[in-house]
Amino acid sequence: MEDDERDDTLDDASDDELEAFDDDDLDEDFDEFEDDEDESDLGAPDPAVERERRLAVTASLSEEEHTEIELLVGILPTRVAAAVRDEGLAGIIEVVLDLGRIPTARYNTGDVALSSTEVTEQELTQVVAQVSEFGEDNRAGIPRTLHRISAIRNRRGHIVGLTCRIGRSVSGSGRIMRDLIKSGKSILLLGRPGVGKTTMLRDVARMLADELNKRVVIVDSSNEIGGDGDIPHHGIGKARRMQVRTPHLQHEVMIEAVENHTPEVVVIDEIGTALEADAARTIAERGVQLVGTAHGTTLSNLMQNPTLSDLIGGIESVTLGDEEARRR
């Protein structure tokens, strides 16, 4: 009997607690959870704060760097150029102009929409008219600068998009490899697109030519190392630059550089085909130091790439007998 009374008491208490825990409490708890979630917001930076920071850093840019960036900003449509300046020049990586879409600036902190008005065909034509002729790789530039303008074409060959990438010469970026460079051994820089391989390669070429007094020849397939035009950018120092008529002939120009111009060092960007890998191996076997770059993230990526594995000596498959396999 006493047990039944105790159970009834517990049931009544439970009912009272459930009644007390009403919808208002749930709403309050949920609102509090939402507030906490909003406050954290995954650590997203405030766009206004980022803009103020960029403008502050822009004011501290050297006159040379500011002028260099302005050479690219100046070819953009007027409204886009004004928006880029309002957002700040510091940390800008590239400006994207796609037909029928809003223009976008890509900074090292993220993308920024530059306007709510879509890009027109006339604006694309205006930009194209101010740069050099596009090559087979759909790349163009501005003479004596490191900026690169890449085109996207439709099926009829008309340009419907432009990626205007800022090129920078960062003196001292290759100093971290100075001991390796002085050793005379060939060097391969590996990394994903956009991490600064070409920037470092450019400074390495300058360092070899100016500081170590080496005879350096740059094989520049898309004028990205030495800049656009016939007169190379001062960022490569005294190094000589050989331009490549079409990208698929890069391997021939690599061999030509060794045979005709007696270099001590050959610098090459974006080794990407089997022919270029073979040419690189040939250059190294002739006693010429080679400094190049390739796309990848780890050494294992390169080892598993049948096209480029020759750059690190190649991989050969063998079949082992049972006894030999047990030994290993």
Sign of CA dihedral 192, 194, 195, 198: positive
Q: Is the pLDDT of residue 52 over 70?
A: yes
pLDDT band for position 211 (cuts 50, 70, 90): very high
**Residue range 124-165, pLDDT digits in tens:** 999 999 999 998 889 999 998 999 999 999 999 999 999 999
pLDDT band for position 237 (cuts 50, 70, 90): very high
HEC sequence for the chain: CHHHHHHHHHHHHHHHHHHHCCHHHHHHHHHHHHHHHHHHHHHCCCHHHHHHHHHHHHHCCCHHHHHHHHHHHCCCCHHHHHHHHHHCCCCEEEEEEEECCCCEEEECCEEEECCCCCECHHHHHHHHCCCCCCCCCCEEECECCCCEEEEEECCCCCEEEEEEECCCCCCCCCHHHHHHHHCCCCEEEEECCCCCHHHHHHHHHHHHHHHCCCCEEEEECCCCCCCECCCCCHHHCCCEEEECCCHHHHHHHHHHHHHHHCCCEEEECCCCCHHHHHHHHHHHHCCCEEEEEEECCCHHHHHCCCCCHHHHCCCCCCCCCHHHHHHC
Say how far apart CA 91 and CA 79 lie, in whole Å: 20
Q: In the chain, where are the structural domains located?
A: 47-165, 175-312
Q: Is the pLDDT of residue 71 over 90?
A: yes
Q: What is the mean pLDDT of residues 196-224?
A: 94
pLDDT band for position 50 (cuts 50, 70, 90): confident
Percent of the chain past pLDDT 90, that is, above it, reads: 55
Q: Is the pLDDT of residue 13 over 50?
A: no
CA-wise closest residue to 216 among 200, 201, 197, 231:
201
pLDDT at 10: 45
């419907």: which residue's tokens? 160
Percent of the chain past pLDDT 70, that is, above it, reads: 86
CATH fold for the domain made of 47-165: Beta-Lactamase (3.30.450)
24 or 217, higher pLDDT: 217
Tokens of 144: 């004596």
Q: Is 15 exposed, middle or buried (0-12, 13-18, 19+ CB in 10 A)?
A: exposed
pLDDT at 307: 80
pLDDT at 193: 84
Distance of CA 130 to the CA centre of its chain: 24
pLDDT at 54: 85
User: Residues in the chain, how many?
Assistant: 328
Q: What is the mean pLDDT of residues 181-205?
A: 90
* Alpha-carbon distance values, 30 to 19, 23, 34, 257 (Å): 18, 10, 6, 70
**Residue range 250-266, pLDDT digits in tens:** 999 999 999 999 999 99
Tokens of 317: 């498959």
Opening angle at CA 151, ends 145 and 156, nearest 5: 150
Say how far apart CA 11 and CA 178 lie, in whole Å: 80
Q: What is the mean pLDDT of residues 214-239?
A: 93
Same fold, 47-165 and 175-312: no
**Residue range 166-182, pLDDT digits in tens:** 998 888 888 999 999 99
pLDDT at 37: 45
pLDDT at 35: 47
Q: Mark 210-237 as b/e (b = at least 16 C-beta within 10 Å).
A: eeeebbbbbbbbbbbbbbbeeebbebbb
Bridge partners, 267 (sequence order) = 218, 291
- Helical axes 63-73 vs 78-87, angle rounded to 10°: 150
58 or 162, higher pLDDT: 162
Distance of CA 110 to the CA centre of its chain: 13
The CATH number of 175-312 is 3.40.50.300
